[in-house]
Chains A and B, each alone.
Chain A
Amino acid sequence: MAEATHHTNVDRGPVAGPRVHPLSVVTLAFVFLFLLIVVTLLVTDLLYIQRTPMPKKVAWGAILAAVKLSAITSACTLVLVVVFAIPMGYALSRYRFRGIVVVDTLVDLPIVLPPLVIGVSLLVFFSTSLGQWIESTGLKFVYTVPGIVLCQFLVSASYGVRAATAAFDGVDRRLEQLALTLGCTPWQAFTRVALPVARNGIVAGAIMAWARAVGIFGPLMIFCGSVRYKTEVMPTSIYLELSIGNVEVALAVALVMVGLAAVALVAIHALAPGQRWWAR
């Protein structure tokens, strides 16, 4: 989606103006078919909520708290992912060393692991003496809000790192070398050349990571619990409501999630400078 390099001799990005052509018709048809499925599901959800009277007693306060907690924790996770993804992506893209294949595989591992396993693994880790020691320092993770961030981070970081690596891979190394010859230090070449050029790819990865972080649920149930007003995030609310048959409330929360996600995605795009997100 995002163009990764700024070669003057490369023409990437959209074709100017509308074109009607067998190729455009076929490819766009797939776009609209997919959209049709997604929109149909959303509309059915809406209709279901509309025709079902809301139950008399719904813990809206708890659900609101869950919305807030989801926003806060996923924002923290997003920051952590970006903090890790930029240096990791650069290192994995630029440096070759013995065992890099192993490192690469391990970085991808959390993507393959079922999220539930990450929750169980965390719980098991914090029952070891090392884990106990960490908790005894006052840095508590088991059944706490920082634990939610930890789970979200572990489940989603790989996406950010993978995207950042690909973004740095796409940055022409000659640009950095040029900056060095013009008097930049390696740090400056990184922050002023490589990073801005790779930014779009990193933002795309951060979005992926955030989307995954905000949607996870399995590891949280195990590692953080589903305590209302404390460790209940939006996916937890959906689960808790479904567990007592409040299908319409669960769907309503899901639609709120969709809405918030849309707002967040637009915001991330808007904050990423140099990108005319509104015209894309």
Chain B
Amino acid sequence: MNADRRIWALAVLPLLALLAGCGKEDLRCYVGGTMRPAIEELAQVFEKETGKHIDIDYADSGGLLIKIDQSRKGDLYVCHDPFAGALELKRLHRRIWTVAALMPSIAVAKGNPKKIQGLRDLGREGLRIGLTDPNYSTLGHICPVMFKKTGVADAIAGNVVTRSRMGGQIANAVIIGNLDAGIVWNAVIHARKEKLDLVPIEPPYRPDPKVDAVTSATFGQIDMSMVKVTIATLACSKRLEDATAFAELVNSRRGRAVFAKHGFTDSPVPPPPDDPTPAPQPNTKATEATGPVYLYCCPGIRLAAAEVIDAFTAETGISITPDYAGSGVLLSRIKASRQGDLYAPGDERYLDRAAELNLIGKRWSICYFVPVIMVKKGNPKGIQTLADLTKPGLRLALGNPDACAVGKATVQIFEKNKIAVEDYRKNLVFPSLTVNELGVQVKTGHCDAAIVWDAIAAQYADSTDVVAIPKEQNIISHVTIALLKSATQAKAAERFAAFLCSEKSQAILQEHHYTTQLAAE
């Protein structure tokens, strides 16, 4: 029994040590993805200047989101797109700053032994390439888009030997020598700069800022060309002042410089003007509007907007940075960030709400969104009226009323026609955050019908049919653009808004089947 006593005596020691280890709580910052080295450096700066320590809790961004949602503890969340969008949708944030961006790049072993010079080289025979899994990573979505542009997509696909959930694993496999190259974020390579070289992907192959975007049910629309790195203060923070101070440090020119040092691309959102160390202004003449103009834009007008933006940039030299997401998501983003120049939601009511919050100034009318019922080609289910959508067994795709304008309009249309929520909800199989996703659902046959804007339905005309909703039953949305109070590029923004109303732009909109004028009453 002596030995047993020894065991018990030993057992008490660690328990005591454990109790002694429980200290006070510090600021907690959740850091996802590849941002840890940069945030660690900034947390040290913060501690030196304020004496306040920051606990950095690192994991994959999705896992961290679960932790924030469940624990309701912590003060800050650093992630890259699309997770900030999910944070916003769950209303877990206070304010969000866009502090940097990520760029897809090719990781090769130090010294580039395989002499890979660009994206097309990945199609060379005999190479072992690693990519990230499109189901789990934003980058996984982007790769096929870039490959398609090289013209050697099949050759590259033939060389892909693994698809990993995280880019870090791909980069590590290149380090160990299991892969010849991998496509990961620039910052992932930079974190391993002693062992890896970065081969940039040539601009023509990179995702197009106005065209290449993906929508996801969880995160809304992701603009592939600009994957943003954000820091958010959390709604559950009990030390909001300290948390905001750190977020502002991260967002300052100083903080952004640290991100640049760690291999990140510059944020599309300009740094705050009241920064103590302002960068020299390249052009201070107020009349010279140079941009870039930051435009919050509902995805419903994306195709036309992209073309209008191109025309505008060609004409004026002013560049526009569009940020596509559901109108509701955008509004909460504007509310939280107080950044950006223009806001073009899918329905005027969002602007009314923004006006109540004193976020916007002048408005311009762009076009109208007419809701229609979109069905599979030939209308196999014989849908003729709104009431038909409640038929048992029908599979419906509808917008989420909290996230996007078409969702809000859908609910109102059903209300107007006295169709009870439970009658159509039972058929709802795909609630979407953006209108574009709805069209895809009907096109692919996952759903039998969806309520979408007329112009969206027109994009899918080859594989779907449209059932019009009679005017007296319908609720038509007025798409309007407004100048934000936060605009730092007001002059350029106003020019763009005026351009949107011009005949030239209206013609582009009509070409894309948008309704620019309502038929006479």
Contacts and interface: CB of A to CB of B under 8 A. Distances in A.
A242 interface: yes
Contacts of B63: 221-222
Interface string B8-39: 00110111011001100000100000101100
B192 A145 contact: no
A150 to B, nearest CB: 11
B70 A221 contact: no
A221 B57 CA distance: 9
Given A227-B55, A247-B176, A271-B7, A127 B71 contact: yes
B196 interface: yes
A144 B194 contact: no
Nearest to B74: A143
Contact of B6 (A142, A230, A271): A271
Contact of B14 (A48, A72, A242, A272): A72
Contacts of B71: 123, 126-127, 142-143
Most buried by B among A149, A225, A227, A245: A245
Interface in A245-280: 245, 247, 271-273
A106 interface: no
B67 A123 contact: yes
Contact of B59 (A76, A226, A228): A226
Interface string A220-248: 01100111101000000000101111010
Contacts of B291: none
Contact of B15 (A79, A226, A240): A79
Given A75-B11, A243-B58, A245-B191, A222 B18 contact: no
B171 interface: yes
B73 A142 contact: yes
Contacts of A126: 70-71
A3 to B, nearest CB: 18
Contacts of B7: 271
A247 B58 contact: no
Contacts of B15: 76, 79
Contact of B37 (A76, A146, A230, A244): A244
A22 interface: no
B290 interface: no
A126 B2 CA distance: 40
B70 A244 contact: no
A252 B195 CA distance: 17
Nearest to A143: B73
A200 B490 CA distance: 79
Contact of A55 (B14, B18, B55, B194): B194
A211 interface: no
B245 to A, nearest CB: 20
Contacts of A79: 11, 14-15
Nearest to A68: B17
B196 A222 contact: no
Nearest to A127: B70
B150 interface: no
B14 A76 contact: yes
B150 to A, nearest CB: 27
A78 B10 CA distance: 11
Nearest to B54: A227
Contacts of A212: none
Contacts of B3: 271-273
Given A79-B14, A271-B7, A273-B3, A226 B70 contact: no
Nearest to A76: B14
Contacts of B192: 244-245
A100 interface: no
A42 B11 CA distance: 31
Residue from B70, B191, B192 having most chain A Cβ neighbours under 10 A: B70
A76 B194 CA distance: 40
Interface size on A, as a range, is: 35 or more
B175 interface: yes
A72 B171 contact: no
B73 A228 contact: no
A124 B72 CA distance: 10
A154 interface: no
A134 to B, nearest CB: 14
Given A123-B71, A126-B71, A244-B192, A221 B59 contact: yes
Contact of A228 (B14, B22, B56, B169): B56
Q: Determine the main DSSP class of B at the interface with A.
A: helix
B158 interface: no
B67 A127 contact: no
B66 interface: yes
Interface string B362-404: 0000000000000000000000000000000000000000000
Given A75-B11, A143-B73, A247 B55 contact: no
A120 interface: yes
Interface residues of B, number: 41
Interface string A130-153: 000000000010111110010000
B112 interface: no
A129 B301 CA distance: 45
A146 B2 CA distance: 29
Contact of B36 (A76, A78, A230, A244): A244
B73 A73 contact: no
B14 A245 contact: no
Contacts of A144: 22
Contact of B22 (A75, A127, A146): A146
A145 B15 CA distance: 11
Nearest to B31: A226
Contacts of A271: 3, 6-7, 10
A247 B56 contact: no
A72 B192 CA distance: 32
A240 B11 contact: no
B59 A227 contact: no
B6 A143 contact: no
B138 interface: no
Q: Which of B6, B17, B28, B37 has most chain A Cβ within 10 Å?
A: B17
| A48, A75, A244 — most chain B CB neighbours (10 Å) | A244
A227 B168 CA distance: 19
Interface in A63-91: 71-73, 75-76, 78-79
B172 interface: yes
B18 A72 contact: yes
Contacts of A244: 36-37, 168, 191-192
Contacts of B70: 120, 123-124, 126-127
A1 B104 CA distance: 54
A240 B63 CA distance: 15
Contacts of B11: 75, 78-79
Q: Which 4 A-B pairs have the closest CB atoms?
A: A245-B192, A273-B3, A79-B11, A225-B57
Given A143-B28, A225-B57, A227-B57, 12 more contacts: A48-B176, A75-B11, A145-B18, A145-B21, A225-B55, A240-B36, A240-B58, A243-B168, A244-B168, A245-B191, A245-B195, A273-B4
26 contacts: A55-B194, A71-B14, A72-B21, A73-B14, A75-B14, A79-B11, A79-B15, A120-B70, A126-B70, A127-B71, A140-B22, A143-B73, A145-B21, A146-B22, A221-B59, A222-B67, A225-B28, A225-B55, A225-B67, A242-B168, A243-B58, A244-B168, A244-B191, A245-B168, A271-B7, A273-B4
